[in-house]
């Protein structure tokens, strides 16, 4: 036997046993409970939708999927914990466009998103809604902008931390409306929401899925929604684009990632199971009432989506001059 055939034979011996092993990982997975880390505060969209997903996965895969909220530092604390976890499919991360924004906004993080994680599946997306406390002397978005321009630095807006969709929506608004509004970061979206409802902060962009009920209760005044079209759950509220900032658009989306090195058969199995959940008619109907739309992609498609979003928000960070405070 010559050298090349000999090497080929050895390679076959090495590769052949690996295939059944990979398949076994997928077939046996999950063999114990799975931890889903949400690096945001309790009660926010990531926490709420992660719990829905966890319940369905627990039912279909016959193992417990446990949601663990680990907020802090604009998602970095919880995300870093997952990055350092074993790549075995038993620790997953619920992430959002906070993560794609932070790739340029916070370059010196202890992890890099596309290096230290592998994409599993998106979950959903929803519009944001711009709201202000009733004490602000403005009746609509144009009056709010006029007020902000008359008092540079005199108004402020809340967010759940640097790089979050609420923060970047605010920075994009400031850049496109040529206003100077002070960013007031909070540790979680619930805290930011309470600050606006309590009148401690003037305004914020929040997920329509969680803020709609507060608008209806009269606790805050809606100035506009952030999508290209009016929200189906609050059609009476104009878009920010309609109301006075031409071309404005921002959304919040969620997804699932796993530590880099997680076996592909496990990633593919999780993707397939999550897509089954997202395809359920009852779930789509329930989420539609909240203003959320399921997103379905293969891991490879989600990878491309993430890389494109990183580039998009790098541009917004540059144009807006957004910084971590």
CATH at residue 166: 3.40.190.10
User: CB within 8 A of 250, min separation 6: which ones?
Assistant: 128, 165, 168, 169, 172, 205, 226
Domain annotation covers residue 236: yes
Q: Tell me how far apart the alpha carbons of residues 79 and 122 are, in angstroms, rounded to a whole number.
A: 16
140 in the same domain as 121: no
Radius of gyration of the chain (CA): 22
H-helix or E-strand spanning residue 314 = helix 299-320
218 in the same domain as 146: yes
According to the model, what pLDDT value does residue 1 have?
46
CA-CA-CA-CA dihedral for 200, 129, 207, 292, to nearest 10: 160
118 in the same domain as 208: no
DSSP 238: P
Residue with the two structure tokens 């959304």: 251
Q: What are phi and psi of 102, to 5 degrees?
A: -65, -15
The alpha carbon of 169 is separated from its chain's Cα centroid by a whole number of angstroms, namely 13
131 in the same domain as 95: no
DSSP 245: -
Q: Residue 274 sits in which domain range?
A: 31-125+252-320
Which parts of 94-239 fold into alpha helices (H)? 97-105, 113-116, 141-150, 165-177, 189-197, 208-216
At which of 243, 269, 286 does a domain end?
A: 243
Domain annotation covers residue 23: no
At which of 191, 217, 243 does a domain end?
A: 243
Q: Tell me how far apart the alpha carbons of residues 174 and 178 are, in angstroms, rounded to a whole number.
A: 6
Question: Which residues of the chain are modeled with pLDDT < 50?
Answer: 1, 3-5, 7-14, 16, 18-22
Q: What are phi and psi of 204, to 5 degrees?
A: -160, 160
Q: Tell me how far apart the alpha carbons of residues 118 and 104 are, in angstroms, rounded to a whole number.
A: 19
38 in the same domain as 98: yes
At which of 243, 270, 303 does a domain end?
A: 243
CATH of the domain at 47: 3.40.190.150
Give the pLDDT confidence of 117-151 residue by residue, as tens digits. 999 999 999 999 999 999 999 999 999 999 999 99
Residue with the two structure tokens 């011996």: 13
Burial class (CB in 10 A: 0-12, 13-18, 19+), 91: buried
Domain annotation covers residue 313: yes
Do 70 and 137 form a contact (C-beta atoms < 8 A)?
no
According to the model, what pLDDT value does residue 84 have?
98
CA angle 200, 252, 115 (to 5 degrees): 115
256 in the same domain as 226: no
133 in the same domain as 227: yes
According to the model, what pLDDT value does residue 320 have?
76
Q: Tell me how far apart the alpha carbons of residues 87 and 70 are, in angstroms, rounded to a whole number.
A: 19
Q: Tell me how far apart the alpha carbons of residues 90 and 219 are, in angstroms, rounded to a whole number.
A: 41
224 in the same domain as 185: yes
């Amino acid at each position: 036997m010559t050298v090349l055939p000999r090497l080929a034979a050895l390679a076959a011996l090495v590769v052949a046993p690996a295939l059944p092993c990979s398949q076994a990982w997928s077939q046996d997975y999950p063999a114990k409970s799975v931890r889903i880390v949400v690096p945001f505060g309790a009660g926010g969209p990531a926490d709420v939708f992660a719990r829905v997903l966890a319940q369905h996965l627990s039912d279909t895969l016959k193992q417990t999927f446990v949601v663990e909220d680990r907020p802090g530092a604009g998602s970095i604390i919880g995300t870093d914990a997952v990055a350092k976890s074993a790549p075995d499919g038993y620790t997953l991360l619920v992430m959002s466009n906070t993560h794609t924004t932070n790739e340029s906004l916070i370059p010196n993080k202890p992890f890099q998103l596309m290096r230290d994680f592998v994409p599993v599946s998106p979950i959903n997306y929803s519009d944001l809604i711009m709201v202000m406390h009733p004490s602000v002397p403005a009746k609509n978005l144009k009056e709010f902008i006029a007020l902000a321009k008359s008092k540079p630095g005199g108004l402020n807006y809340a967010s759940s931390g640097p790089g979050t969709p609420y923060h970047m929506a605010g920075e994009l608004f400031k850049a496109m409306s040529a206003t100077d509004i002070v960013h007031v970061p909070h540790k979680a979206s619930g805290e930011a929401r309470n600050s606006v409802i309590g009148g401690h902060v003037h305004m914020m962009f929040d997920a329509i899925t969680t803020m709609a009920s507060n608008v209806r209760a009269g606790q805050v005044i809606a100035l506009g929604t952030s999508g290209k079209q009016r929200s189906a759950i609050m059609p009476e509220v104009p878009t920010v684009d309609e109301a006075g900032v031409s071309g404005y658009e921002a959304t919040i989306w969620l997804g699932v990632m796993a530590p880099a090195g997680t076996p592909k058969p496990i990633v593919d199995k999780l993707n397939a199971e999550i897509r089954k959940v997202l395809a359920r008619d009852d779930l789509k109907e329930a989420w539609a009432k909240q203003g959320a739309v399921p997103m379905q992609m293969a891991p490879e498609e989600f990878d491309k989506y993430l890389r494109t979003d990183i580039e998009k928000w790098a541009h917004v960070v540059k144009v807006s001059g957004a910084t971590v405070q």
